[in-house]
Amino acid sequence: MIGKTLGRYSVEATPVTDRLNHLPVTRAHIRATVIVGLGLFFDLFDVFLAGVLSTVLTASFGLSERVLPAVLGSSFLGMFIGATFMGGIADRFGRRPAFLVNLGIYSLFTFVGAFSINAAMLVITRFIAGIGIGAEIPLSDAYLSEVLPAAHRGRLMAWAYTAGFIGVPAAGLLARVLVPLRPLNVAGWRWLFVAGSLGGVIVWSLRRLLPESPRWLESAREERLPFQALLDGRYRRRTLMLSVFQIFQTVGYYGFGTIIPLVLAAKGFSVLSSLTYVTITFLGYPIGAALSVVVVERMERRQLIVVSALLMAVFGFGFAYAKTPAAIMVFGFAYTVISNIFSSGFHVLQGEVFPTALRARAAGATYGLSRLSSAVMPFVLLPVLRNYGPTVMFSVIGLSMLIVILDIGLFAPRTTGRTLEEITGV
């Protein structure tokens, strides 16, 4: 039950939440994990697709150095809007309806984007598709944290993200196969958008099988908490902590994944060679997510995030200085492995630190900042890369990860092994 006392909000365990916390893992839990993981697959497929295709789209549409950042940033700007506002829909009308709306928008406009006749149409369709897919990750974090048993929450969420991150090397592999081809006399890159759209339709159909979150159903009977509650009491500190984190973590995480083909081009590698190295490097994403399954319940979440962020900075500098294909693939692979241990840790944490009545809005609003940061990022990192080279660009990324380390290390609460009611209680 949620109650308001002296301007602060408290959360108490109920028979429903107590039962949810102590259930064994059932087929229903596994089914929910798999279906949510499939949605994450297409979110991450789409996020990394723009970076993979950056050099191809530049040639296809004759993009200038001024227009390319707009193409890369348009979907992230849409994701910021989607993540911010879809959380309100999820808290008001339920997690399940929000899941269906976001994937429907993504699938439709990704399909339309495959028929783009110029850069302007591509930017517009990517922007609207981004509005749809933008809430996928915060909705997934909120939903899984609410339906999974406390003792298994981190492990099962890590499995969902393992399934999701298979979408990253899938984007690289499909690009490597399709870009040189013209199936049915249509440019290969357009088929990548069609694949993302049709996959989204399949997952949309599966999402209809998901039950509504029991925690949300129970909280919906109570007085709806205002958005202002995020800035009251303990939640103010957590809101600020996650906001700072999301603004800077995306520079290290998506900054690498979306800019890497351009870094390789700056090092003098051809488009096809770059796609090969990117595909091998991106194999680290699902492997890192799978490794996180082993450690996410054994280490305190904040410690896991801090250690992995430090290693990301180290491997990033190694990649910046790498000259040979072997060194590039080794440091790139190590970076992506560690970055997904980092990612799994923070996604579990993000779904744990706010009460059910605020969870989707809090996750959406703070995670939305990462998408806004991602939209701005190409306008910062690309000029740095172009004018000063990979080493200085990775110095900017390293500084961002230092801010992340201090933020999480000093201000994140302890969550591993605790129930949501223990974590969110005031």
Inter-residue contact 175 to 49 (CB < 8 Å): yes
pLDDT one-digit tens code per residue, 347-363: 889 888 888 888 888 88
DSSP characters over 175-210 = HHHHTT--GGGS-HHHHHHHHHHHHHHHHHHHHTTP
CB half-sphere exposure, 272, CA atoms < 13 A: 5
Q: Is 84 helix (H, G, I), strand (E, B) or coil?
A: helix
**C-alpha radius of gyration, the chain, whole number:** 21
CATH code for the domain in which residue 193 is found: 1.20.1250.20
Backbone angles phi, psi at 148, to 5 degrees: -95, 145
pLDDT the model gives residue 183 = 86
**Does 8 map to a domain?**
no
Q: Report the first-to-last Cα separation within the chain, whole angstroms.
A: 13
**Does 73 map to a domain?**
yes
Q: Where do we find the tokens 């990394």?
A: 48
Quote the DSSP letter at residue 166: T
**Does 221 map to a domain?**
no
**Does 276 map to a domain?**
yes
pLDDT the model gives residue 390 = 87
The count of other CB atoms within 10 Å of the CB of residue 268 is 8
The Cα 175–Cα 167 span in angstroms is: 12
The Cα 20–Cα 23 span in angstroms is: 6
* Percentage helix, strand, coil for the chain under 3-state DSSP, each rounded to 5: 80, 0, 20
Dig out the tokens for 426 from the structure. Answer: 């005031």
For the chain, what is the domain count?
1
**Does 220 map to a domain?**
no
Domain that holds residue 157: 17-214+232-424
**Does 222 map to a domain?**
no
Inter-residue contact 86 to 364 (CB < 8 Å): yes
pLDDT one-digit tens code per residue, 45-73: 887 777 667 767 777 777 777 777 777 77
pLDDT one-digit tens code per residue, 388-403: 988 899 899 999 999 9
pLDDT the model gives residue 2 = 42
**Does 311 map to a domain?**
yes
**Does 12 map to a domain?**
no
What stretches in the chain show pLDDT beneath 70? 1-17, 51-52, 55, 222-224, 271, 425-426
The count of other CB atoms within 10 Å of the CB of residue 221 is 8
Q: Where do we find the tokens 């703070």?
A: 366
Dig out the tokens for 126 from the structure. Answer: 């990517």
Say which residues have a Cβ less than 8 Å from residue 404's Cβ, sequence separation at least 6: 245, 248, 249, 252, 305, 309
- What pTM did the predictor assign? 0.78
